[in-house]
């Protein structure tokens, strides 16, 4: 008989977010560190490397712990599809630690399944609704910033944003580059700029000295 295994799945949305709280929960459950799968990725879908690695290892009778349902994902239909694949097609169990009713080990009868499925429906709906609200707030923030003329994303590179060293190197080597004594690649390396930024800066500088 194949030995069953216990796994933990941890997810945060960005690389900057901390996974410690979820990992501590898994460790208190006695899950071995090598059996805790961690993704730092959006919950919009299940195209996540560690989740897919976990799923590939699951066998009938195995157990997966998740701290909360939204750590599994935030798309209602996708969550239910994955839940069904793990519990029905693979035959593993899932325990959501912050929701007692979402423990597939306990509810095997008809009424138990009905209650658990109802809770799953409600929670997946809430997870997706929260994601949609977050996206709406982000879109609203972007629209306001654009209306106010604020630049979004990385600061735009121009002569004024160059360092004192870069400005000096630009002034000292520009003529040599124009007369082809210095190649574009060499000049880029001196300035520490990538191709698009290099041509933007040199064009701007040329306009200032004409």
| Catalytic residue list contains 42 | no
Q: Is 141 exposed, middle or buried (0-12, 13-18, 19+ CB in 10 A)?
A: exposed
pLDDT at 54: 96
Question: Greater confidence, 119 or 192?
Answer: 192
pLDDT at 47: 93
Residue 9 confidence class, pLDDT cut points 50, 70, 90: very high
pLDDT at 24: 94
pLDDT at 39: 95
Considering the candidates 13, 42, 68, 197, report the single residue annotated as catalytic.
Answer: 13
> Is the pLDDT reported for residue 109 higher than 70?
no
For the residues 41-68, what does the mean pLDDT come to?
Answer: 94
Question: Greater confidence, 77 or 85?
Answer: 85
Residue 178 confidence class, pLDDT cut points 50, 70, 90: confident
C-alpha 144/C-alpha 152 separation (Å) is 11
| Backbone region of residue 95 per phi and psi (left: phi > 0; alpha: psi in -120 to 50; beta: other values) | beta
pLDDT at 85: 92
**CATH class of the domain comprising 6-131:** alpha beta
DSSP 151-190: PPSSPPP-GGGS-HHHHHHHHHHHHHHHTTSS-HHHHHHH
pLDDT at 97: 93
Domain assignments of the chain as residue spans, ordered by start: 6-131, 159-209
Question: Greater confidence, 62 or 108?
Answer: 62
> Is the pLDDT reported for residue 22 higher than 60?
yes
């Amino acid at each position: 008989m194949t030995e069953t295994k216990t796994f933990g799945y941890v997810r945060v949305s960005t690389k900057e977010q901390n996974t410690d709280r979820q990992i501590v929960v898994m460790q208190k459950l006695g899950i071995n560190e090598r059996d805790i799968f961690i993704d730092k990725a959006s919950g919009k879908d299940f195209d996540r490397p560690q989740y897919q690695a976990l799923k590939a290892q699951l066998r009938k009778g195995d157990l997966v712990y998740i701290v909360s349902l939204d750590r599994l994902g935030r798309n209602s239909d996708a969550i239910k599809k994955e839940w069904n694949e793990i519990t029905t097609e693979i035959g593993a169990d899932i325990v959501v630690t912050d929701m007692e009713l979402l423990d597939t080990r306990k509810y095997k009868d008809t009424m138990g399944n009905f209650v658990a499925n109802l809770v799953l429906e409600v929670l997946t709906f809430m997870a997706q609704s929260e994601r949609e609200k977050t996206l709406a707030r982000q879109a609203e923030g972007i629209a306001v910033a654009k209306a106010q003329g604020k630049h979004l994303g990385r600061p735009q590179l121009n002569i004024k944003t160059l360092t004192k060293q870069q400005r000096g190197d630009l002034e000292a080597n520009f003529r040599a580059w124009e007369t082809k004594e210095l190649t574009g690649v060499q000049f880029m390396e001196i300035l520490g700029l990538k191709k698009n930024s290099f041509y933007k800066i040199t064009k701007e500088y040329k306009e200032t000295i004409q």
